Structure 1
């Protein structure tokens, strides 16, 4: 079997220690988590984990089964990239003088469809949301100017198709 990127969605109760147990499932199998995001879901008191891994479908199927055995987990799913809508966000902190002294950096921001979220005397901050490749491309263009700080979020994702969890969780509202 061939390795592919999979997005695992886990709906769970919001309990302390669950993240540690879930990450342990990947650790035991020597599978690296490429991206991890945890947030509230569309249902009150239900959290949603978005975990991105590069592995085989057999392994991801087994991992999802192990995750579902955790008491707090309501349901877990996995999808390939074509079955989801996803993006990441990034912030770039850059020296302010470049914004005013170099027209090229303004063009880079405009062409990449990024936005300036704050400007001070010392620095300005650019925000970019999109596919990882778009963020990496902007990073490469800004790097020669000097990036003071950079941070990128984990993947956030929704499935293209309605998932059975939606109707199951509807009863919890």
Structure 2
């Protein structure tokens, strides 16, 4: 089996220590986490982890099974890139003098569909959302001008097909009573 990029979605209660236990599952298998994002989900009081890994389908199935054994985990899913809509966000902090002295920077911002989110006397900040390759392209174009700071978020994604998590939660609530 060949390695592919998988996006794992984990719906869970928001408990201390869960992230540590989940990362331990990857550590034991020597699988590197390429990207990690944790936020609230579409369901009240339920968190969603988005974990991106490069591995085989057999390993990702095994990992998802181990994750689901964690008591706080409600359900975990995995998808290949074609089954999701995803992007990342990045911020670039650049010296303010360049915004007015280097016309090429304005062109980079416009051509890459980036936006300026703040301007001060000493720096300005560019925001870029998109695929990792698009962000890397902007990074390469801005690098010769000097990037003061750079940060990129983990992947955020939604599946193209329903994951039926809301139905599952409704069934669990009905079965409680």
What is the TM-score when the length of structure 2 is the normalising length?
0.95
Counterpart for residue 165 of structure 2? 165
- 1:111 and 1:170 map into 2 onto residues whose CA distance is 46
The Cα offsets for residues 43-76 of structure 1, whole Å up to 9 and x where unpaired, read as 1110000000000000000000000000000000
- 1:40 and 1:106 map into 2 onto residues whose CA distance is 35
Counterpart for residue 74 of structure 1? 74
Q: Shift of residue 168 of structure 1?
A: 1.8
SS in 2 for 1:14: coil
- 2:112 and 2:167 map into 1 onto residues whose CA distance is 38
Counterpart for residue 132 of structure 1? 132
- For 1:4-153, list aligned pairs within 5 A: 4-153=4-153
Q: How many residues get paired?
A: 172
Asked if the contact 2:43–2:166 (Cα under 8 Å) also holds between the matched residues in 1, the reply is no
Q: Shift of residue 169 of structure 1?
A: 3.1
- 1:168 and 1:65 map into 2 onto residues whose CA distance is 17
SS in 2 for 1:121: coil
- Report runs of 4+ in structure 1 exceeding 6 Å deviation: none
SS in 2 for 1:129: strand
Q: Shift of residue 164 of structure 1?
A: 1.9
SS in 2 for 1:128: strand
Q: Shift of residue 170 of structure 1?
A: 4.8
